[in-house]
Amino acid sequence: MYAYINDWVHGILINARCNNDGRLLMNGDDTKNATSYSTVYIAKKQGKNYNMSAVMAKGYGYHLNHLQDSAYIDNLQDVQRLLLFWLVQAINHEQELARPIVVSYLMGWGDTYHSHHYSPIYWSTFVCYLFKEAPDL
């Protein structure tokens, strides 16, 4: 009834098969606002752990202050392994997880969700069938 209420770009809608909004940018303010919105949307802030080096330094400093056994530090390979362990633990401690991922892990459902069974389609088989059905191509 109202064909242009959403400003859809008909060519993108038909070819990409997705919902989209098109807008004609005629002045500097519209262009600036659209660019700013797109940039903020694409480059989302990571929240609490945006400064990963500070998180790693904080975790490493904590473990250095609380480690009393100097015999364990004598071997350089063990120290490097321990350093990596501390850094990974500090990152994991600060990491934010979405509720659906946590529930999926707790229920044992794995990392991915598949609603359909997919079958591979081989291009050569498709081309052979196409030429068989339409030899004038």
Q: How many Å apart are CA 81 and CA 84, to the nearest integer? A: 5
Q: How many Å apart are CA 53 and CA 55, to the nearest integer? A: 5
Helix or strand run (H / E) with residue 52: helix 52-66
What pLDDT does 59 receive?
75
What pLDDT does 1 receive?
52
User: Is position 7 within any domain?
Assistant: yes
DSSP 95: -
Contacts by 51-60, CB closer than 8 A, 24 or more apart: 52/91, 55/90, 55/91, 55/94, 56/87, 56/90, 56/91, 58/90, 59/86, 59/87, 59/89, 59/90, 59/91, 59/93, 60/86, 60/87, 60/90
What pLDDT does 50 receive?
62
What pLDDT does 29 receive?
84
What pLDDT does 7 receive?
64
Number of domain units in the chain: 1
Predicted confidence pLDDT, tens digits, the chain (137 residues): 555 555 667 777 777 777 666 767 778 887 888 888 878 777 766 566 567 777 778 877 777 777 666 665 556 567 788 888 988 888 888 888 788 888 888 888 877 767 777 788 888 888 898 899 998 87
What pLDDT does 133 receive?
92
What pLDDT does 132 receive?
92
Contacts of 9 (CB under 8 A, 6+ apart): 20, 22
User: Is position 86 within any domain?
Assistant: no
What pLDDT does 49 receive?
56
User: Is position 27 within any domain?
Assistant: yes
User: Is position 95 within any domain?
Assistant: no
User: Is position 9 within any domain?
Assistant: yes
59 phi/psi in degrees, rounded to 5 = -65, -40
User: Is position 26 within any domain?
Assistant: yes
What pLDDT does 69 receive?
62
Side chain identity, residue 98: A
Range of the domain at 24: 1-44
What pLDDT does 110 receive?
79
